[in-house]
Amino acid sequence: MPLYVHVETTNGAYATHNDPDFHNAGMFIRNVVIEYSIGQIKGDGPYRVGLKLDHGWLYVEGLTDYEQHGDQLLLAGHDRLGRLACALHLDIKPLPQGASEVESQ
């Protein structure tokens, strides 16, 4: 079954405000359709999730929390101050596009 995926990682743009030598990095991808043959959750916390795709793997590390809302699975990794470090969202339908759509859910 095809799934819509959202993956986000960040070490935080806020970090650059305190240290001008800090190199900020992040990644964001939304509403890419995938199909996977193997799904794995590993670790004692924080966790890592791997999904085996036809031509490789989708892999997210540093996950600490999850919620399920109907067919939507939301996994997130937060640092010790509660800031988002990574996210993996999976759903059978497209995920909302804008912040206003996410806030209204």
Question: What per-residue confidence (pLDDT) applies to 16?
Answer: 57
Q: What is the DSSP string of 19-58?
A: -TT----EEEEEEEEE-EEEEEEESSSSEEEEEEETTEEE
Identity of the amino acid at 99:
A
Taking only the tens place, the pLDDT of each residue in 9-38 is: 987 655 556 667 777 788 899 999 999 999
Question: What per-residue confidence (pLDDT) applies to 98?
Answer: 66
